Structure 1
Amino acid sequence: MSTSNAKEHNRTKFLKEFPKLVDELKSILTDYGLPKEAITWYEKSLNYNTPGGKLNRGLSVVDSYAILKGYKSVDDLPEETYFKVALLGWCIELLQAYFLVADDMMDKSITRRGQPCWYRVPNVGEIAINDAFMLEGAIYILLKRHFKKETYYVDLLELFHEVTFQTELGQLLDLITAPEDHVDLSKFSLKKHSFIVIFKTAYYSFYLPVALAMYVAGIADEKDLKQAHDVLIPLGEYFQIQDDYLDCFGKAEDIGKIGTDIQDNKCSWVINTALTKCTPEERAILDSNYGVKNAESEKKCKTIFNNLGLDKLYHEYEESVAADLRKKIAAIDESRGFKSEVLTVFLNKIYKRSK
């Protein structure tokens, strides 16, 4: 099976588990005596907001567990074991859904994953706030029902709670640093950008899937968790910087969308790096045009970014960070059962991606 076919096969297998979780959650609401109309609403929210993305975070739990336990493919996992690690993967996807429903309201976004944002669906509106809470709540209902008897149950709870809070801290700094309707580049800095992307993206997208797999695999010594953390957090920061770069310099046909970071006043690596390199004259142009919602202003910003050679600077950064990560991965201590291959797989997915 080719790599692309295997990836699609694993995604299809993972997706088949989600309806089971929806049915389980519906049965819980039925047991509570909730009226049918409310159960139907919740079911629609779950299906609309959770399974529509790339599912990379959820799939990474399954893939990481398979590597840690020495399975050649996820198909080799016993059925019960696959269900448990897939369930944890879906818990991350529920966390992602919770964040996105809330984030879209905060950002007044129009579409998400090719369809209207949940709050813009007819009759939803501000009910989406409570729906977001219920997406998060499903995580802890499912964890209790399936992991309460496990020795690592409290570890799972604490990990989800801590990573959720870390992500919200990143979102807070992002919201107060770069509100879409008030541009103030004096608030921007590469230090703030680093905090935002590490807390808003790296913890829940990179560290969380691997740490969950490690707990289930019984490889959760503090030293091993730190080894994973010390590679996955800078890897997550690299991923987001790469995303920022592609939004500005990537081709729409490659990345599947038209970049909007400049017009949306995003606190991205591109603008923050530009602010450290530009002349006072260039800074004045950026102050007047960054975050302005028209193509002409966007073009003026891009001209400065090109003149500053940010494309070259990014590629130098990419080679430097990839080399540093490879060095860290090569030094991983595998004596307690942790496998550096888990980290190599993540790096290979990201290095030099174009979408």
Structure 2
Amino acid sequence: MADYRSKFLNVYSILKSELLEDPAFEWTDASRKWVDRMLDYNVPGGKLNRGLSVIDSYKFLKEGQELTENEIFLACALGWCIEWLQAYFLVLDDIMDNSHTRRGQPCWYRLPKVGMIAVNDGVLLRNHIPRILKKHFREKPYYVDLLDLFNEVEFQTASGQMIDLITTIEGEKDLSKYSLAIHRRIVQYKTAYYSFYLPVACALLMSGENLDNHIEVKNVLVEMGTYFQVQDDYLDCFGAPEKIGKIGTDIEDFKCSWLVVKALELANEEQKKTLFENYGKPDPANVAIVKALYNELNLEGVYLDYEEKVSKKLTATIEAQPSKAVQALLKSFLAKIYKRQK
């Protein structure tokens, strides 16, 4: 994988150079410098898991055949389209959430002289995706399917973000709006489609597959994405910061977390009152009260039960897949989720 990672990063440089010479725009030194810096700041940071998953998935679908240099390049290009999509979401998401930091550095819009220019930068990031697809995939029989796929997944993600935003409107902190059904819808649309389904769908199209024949694969991946987020919510509270690489703040941030919706479902009236009074407050004393209530309700045990059930269900669905290559691909995704908790 290390070898593919270096190739992947190399493809980023190629795509960036092409975009900075795009003939559809008359570039000036200032505009080229701006976009160059904006791309480097927002696109290649993070773990790159989504982008690298395209290469991984394509390798599984090729069932051990050696990939050609061209296949590696195309898989990397599609992977970068997903990373570009992620950058577009994050740049705008940070403005909406009034966030301060992203990936250990100030959010792009917080930088001097950037400010609300970041909104247009987000639009540019989104528009780079069809430029990349047009340049490298226009002659491919699956070109239109790729465009459709990215449009569809962007719509689903934006709709998930909308549910999230209207459920947690600033100044209207109301826990009674939170439920398992709302949590599931937010997670499914905001995260699962673009993080789990999109990389595999790109690889399937590259392999000459019709996505309509793989609805079950989509369902499994969306279910996995939901499980991934529930695990993330659990680790935010119960994970050791040195293991998960961050200090959880879901309680302080009034997040529609799986833990809080589960707590609301299980709590008696007195416990609900405690939650309503303490959830979403930045004071460590309030956070400690919420965590104590989570322990009282044995949410750790509730999560482990959920994990066991969902794990059995996913494994059974994967085993039922007719294609051994698809089975192996889905098992690798599931193994990565398990690994995070160990």
Q: 1:250 aligns with which of 232, 235, 239?
A: 239
Alignment of 1:175-186 (within 5 A): 175-179=165-169, 181-186=171-176
CA–CA distance in structure 2, aligned partners of residues 339 and 300 of structure 1 = 45
Residue 293 of structure 2 corresponds to 304
CA–CA distance in structure 1, aligned partners of residues 194 and 247 of structure 2 = 25
* Paired residues of 1:101 and 1:119 also in contact (CA < 8 A): yes
Q: 1:15 to 1:33 in 2, by over 3 A?
A: same
Once the two structures are superposed, residues 241-296 of structure 1 have per-residue CA deviations (whole angstroms, 9 ceiling, x without a partner) of: 00000001111111111100000000010000000001111111111111111111
Alignment of 1:1-355 (within 5 A): 6=1, 8-28=2-22, 32-71=25-64, 76-179=66-169, 181-220=171-210, 222-223=212-213, 225-334=214-323, 339-351=326-338, 353-354=340-341
* Paired residues of 1:322 and 1:351 also in contact (CA < 8 A): no
State how many pairs are aligned. Answer: 342
Once the two structures are superposed, residues 100-139 of structure 1 have per-residue CA deviations (whole angstroms, 9 ceiling, x without a partner) of: 0000011111111111100011110000000001011100
* Paired residues of 1:180 and 1:265 also in contact (CA < 8 A): no
Residue 3 of structure 1 corresponds to none
Q: State the Cα RMSD in Å.
A: 1.4
CA–CA distance in structure 2, aligned partners of residues 266 and 50 of structure 1 = 26
* Paired residues of 1:118 and 1:128 also in contact (CA < 8 A): yes
* Paired residues of 2:252 and 2:279 also in contact (CA < 8 A): yes
* Paired residues of 2:59 and 2:67 also in contact (CA < 8 A): yes
* Paired residues of 1:219 and 1:338 also in contact (CA < 8 A): no
Question: 3-state DSSP class of the match of 1:298?
Answer: helix
CA–CA distance in structure 1, aligned partners of residues 341 and 29 of structure 2 = 46
Q: CA deviation at 1:352?
A: 5.3
Letter in 1 for 2:216: Q
Q: CA deviation at 1:338?
A: 5.4
Q: 1:352 to 1:308 in 2, by over 3 A?
A: farther
Question: 3-state DSSP class of the match of 1:351?
Answer: helix
Q: CA deviation at 1:151?
A: 1.1
CA–CA distance in structure 2, aligned partners of residues 180 and 258 of structure 1 = 23
CA–CA distance in structure 2, aligned partners of residues 221 and 123 of structure 1 = 44
CA–CA distance in structure 1, aligned partners of residues 284 and 10 of structure 2 = 43
Q: CA deviation at 1:13?
A: 2.4
Unmatched 5+ stretches in structure 1: 1-5
Q: CA deviation at 1:351?
A: 1.8
CA–CA distance in structure 2, aligned partners of residues 123 and 66 of structure 1 = 43
Letter in 2 for 1:70: E
